[in-house]
Structure 1
Amino acid sequence: MRPDTAVILCAGLGERMRPLSDSTPKPLLNLAGQPILAHTMARLRDAGVRKVIVNAFHLAEQIEAFFDRYEGVIVRREESLLETGGALAAMAAEALLPDAPFYILNGDSYWVDGPSAALPRLAAAFDPRREDAMLLLARSAGTIAETRFGDFVWDREAGLRRREEREVAPYLYSGIQIATTALLHSDKVERFSMNRLWDEALAAGRLNAIVHDGVWLHMTTPEDILRAEELLAAREVGNST
């Protein structure tokens, strides 16, 4: 069964995207003629997602105004930054998360589907009996992102692991995953990163991944936006929305 719920993380300050993010939240910056979030919502609707939970902090009123046009969206405004893991814990504490698997997406990620749409492909690969979360990884080579070191090494025999210090890893986290609430090992709401949850799941052998078969464009700086626009305009990547 495909998930009908998704979490979109939109509370970040977007500091490296300044000055653009001084007046506009990073997920609302335009790419290919629309805010990044508009592309994300189109893909979620295509994947059958009808309930979306969003966290907001920086310029939260703009995030709320954007989602006013959509049905089935809950925007949770944070009084102080909880980071990615803390935001998820707060949503769970307020009983906003389903018992079934759900998607978790960074609000600033843009991807182009490959032969198969990424979200249904992720859902089809995920087995909650064996995994608490499954990440969609992107290949570091040729990606618009900070790719100096990468995030993960995936030895098909040894399994998924974090890169070691000074090691160059071939895979990056794309900002897209599927999970269940089993990923949260505590009901305590505090400020912490999703990395803590991944490390706990890795240690328990309950974190897995698939590799994206399309193109992923993660915009970190204003220059990244320009490069992405040039690629899309030149039809080297294409726009699948």
Structure 2
Amino acid sequence: MPKQISFHPKAAMVLSAGMGKRMRPLTATTPKPLIEVDGKSMLARAASRLKEAGLETCVVNVHYLADLVENHALKFEGLNVKISDERAELLDTGGGIKKALPMLGSDPFILKNSDSFWLEGVKPNLDLLVESWDDDKMDMLMLLAPTVNAVGYDGKGDFLMDNDGRLERRDERSVAPFIYSGTAMIHPRLFKDTPDGPFSLNLLFDKAIENGRLYGVEGDGLWLHVGTPQGLHDAERAIANSAN
């Protein structure tokens, strides 16, 4: 059960440096975070959620079509936007966050993928995430989406969750009830002893699981993953249906 909030993060990072290969041909001239869903870029949607949740600093990493992403991000109002420059080398998800840690500070921070978001339910999901954080037992807290009704997702799920919220990966031969939604709360201590240069966030997932410190909370509402042109179509249809 969510407990009384003892800490509220001030900083967040939106991962925005990827090549967007699965979104081609749309990403030939437009970086994936700037692709519009129902008239608003995915990066702007992420920034709006962070602002609504009371975040103050937003770090955006850039690599592919970096100038376009940077110029777009620096126009966001109500957030202190900082650019983590990966023009020289794309650092993958884990390496990109590690490079940005000096901008994020020493406290737990929010991480968001730019290509997934929620049609919110009764309770805003970032509020749910923050309220569920327990620094004594967690290094990472994932916002999870149910596999069965996720929009734009056709995989077998990512994680199993016990009654306490602790996560473990699904067996390769099985199906899991929950997907990592691309949103999480992370303590910087999880990056201790990680490699320099590019590495995947999956390394940190495994590290936290090994230490029994990877937890999850099921989100409220409908999760939309915009990873392909078909996913974009499905997301816009889901948004239109929700307005009816």
Q: Same fold (TM over 0.5)?
A: yes
Q: Aligned partner of 2:137: which letter?
A: R
1:57 equivalent among 33, 53, 63: 63
Q: Shift of residue 139 of structure 1?
A: 0.4
The residue that corresponds to 1:202 in the other structure is 209
Q: Aligned partner of 2:46: which letter?
A: T
- Secondary structure (helix, strand or coil) at the match of 2:193 reads coil
What is the rounded CA distance, in whole Å, between the counterparts of 2:230 and 2:117 in structure 1? 15
What is the rounded CA distance, in whole Å, between the counterparts of 2:234 and 2:172 in structure 1? 29
Q: Aligned partner of 1:8: which letter?
A: V
The answer to whether the Cα contact below 8 Å between 2:108 and 2:185 also exists between their aligned partners in 1 is yes
How do 1:70-89 residues align onto structure 2 when only pairs under 5 Å count?
Answer: 70=76, 71-78=79-86, 79-89=88-98
Deviation string, structure 1 residues 45-71 (Cα, Å, up to 9, x no partner): 111111011111111111111012135
Are 2:110 and 1:103 equivalent residues in the alignment?
Answer: yes
- Secondary structure (helix, strand or coil) at the match of 2:182 reads strand
The answer to whether the Cα contact below 8 Å between 2:166 and 2:214 also exists between their aligned partners in 1 is no
The residue that corresponds to 2:3 in the other structure is none
Q: Shift of residue 157 of structure 1?
A: 6.7
What is the rounded CA distance, in whole Å, between the counterparts of 1:118 and 1:72 in structure 2? 22
2:75 equivalent among 66, 69, 72: 69
The residue that corresponds to 1:19 in the other structure is 25
The answer to whether the Cα contact below 8 Å between 2:120 and 2:222 also exists between their aligned partners in 1 is yes
Q: Aligned partner of 2:9: which letter?
A: P
- Worse-matched range after superposition: 154-163 or 222-231: 154-163
Are 2:168 and 1:161 equivalent residues in the alignment?
Answer: yes
Aligned length: 235
Q: Aligned partner of 1:127: which letter?
A: D
What is the rounded CA distance, in whole Å, between the counterparts of 1:139 and 1:118 in structure 2? 14
Aligned Cα root-mean-square deviation (Å):
1.6
Q: Aligned partner of 1:148: which letter?
A: G
TM-score, normalization by structure 1 = 0.92
- Secondary structure (helix, strand or coil) at the match of 1:234 reads helix
Q: Shift of residue 160 of structure 1?
A: 1.4
Q: Shift of residue 97 of structure 1?
A: 2.1
- Worse-matched range after superposition: 137-146 or 215-224: 137-146
TM-score, normalization by structure 2 = 0.91
Are 2:154 and 1:147 equivalent residues in the alignment?
Answer: yes
Where do 5+ consecutive residues of structure 1 fail to align?
Answer: none
How do 1:160-179 residues align onto structure 2 when only pairs under 5 Å count?
Answer: 160-179=167-186
